[in-house]
Amino acid sequence: MTTLPSDTTLTESGLDLRSRQKRVLLIACGALAREILALIKANGWDHMDLQCLPANLHLYPDRIVTAVEQAVERNRDRYDRIFVVYADCGTGGQLQAKCADLGVEMVEGPHCYSFFEGNAAFAAHGDDETTAFYLTDFLVKQFDAFVWKPMGLDRHPELRDMLFGNYTKLVYQAQVEDPALKAKARDCADRLGLAFEYRFTGYGDLEHALKAQSDTA
C-alpha cells in the first residue's frame, strides 16, 4: 500500500471531493486507510469521507499535531462533524489537547496497537509486554520502508542488537486473516532476532469508535 497524500479525501469508491450537509469527515493516519475504508464499505457508512495524512508522520510524531490542525481548519466548513482517527501516537497528550481546542473528537488510546487489540485488553497486559515489538497489517507490508530502512538496518545490520536487544518478541496484530502476511510477519521477527507471536485482533476499538460516530451523525 502506498502512502496517501494529504488533502486526499476518499470513500470506498475512490476520490470524493464533494461538500455536503450532514456528513462526517474522518481525518486519519494513512497507515489506517485500508482498514477504515473496509469498515466504511462493510457498514454502509456512505455519509463518511476519509482524508488521510501521510503515513510517514508515524516516523515524526512531533509533526502530527500541526498536520491534524491544518486539516481540520481546511475542512471545518465543509462537514457537520470531523473525527480524528489518530491515537496519542507519541504526541505526549498534545494531540488530545489540540483536538479539544478545535472542538473535535479523536479515537481513544495511546497508539493503534492498543485500539486494534482493544484499549482495555491491551492495558491488561501491563508490564508483561514491555519487551514486545508490535506490527499491524500495514507495518508488516511496509516493514522495510517504516522499520528496517529508517533505523539504518539495511546499511548497518550490526545495529540490530543495539536497537532491539531489549525486546524479546514480535507481536503481529492481524486485522485480516492472511497466511501470506502471517508468514511475512514471522520473517520480520526472524530478521530482528525475536520470538514470534500472532494475534488476530480484527479492527478492535477502531470499529467501535467509527460506529459511535456513525450512530450520532
Domains, the chain, in order of start with CATH, read 8-112+205-215 (3.40.50), 119-200 (no CATH)
69: closest CA among 96, 100, 89, 99?
A: 99
Q: Taking the CB of residue 150, how many other CB atoms lie within 10 A of it? A: 13
- What global pTM score does this model have? 0.87
The distance in angstroms from the start CA to the end CA of the chain is 30
pLDDT tens over the chain, length 217 residues: 233 445 555 544 444 544 444 799 999 999 999 999 999 999 999 999 999 999 999 889 999 999 999 999 999 999 999 999 999 999 999 999 999 999 999 999 999 999 999 999 999 998 889 999 999 999 999 999 999 999 999 999 999 999 999 999 999 999 999 999 999 999 999 999 999 999 999 999 999 999 999 988 7
pLDDT for the residue 216: 84
Instruction: Give which of 172, 167, 175 is closest to 183, Cα–Cα.
Output: 172
Per-residue pLDDT tens over the stretch 105-137: 999 999 999 999 999 999 999 888 999 999 999
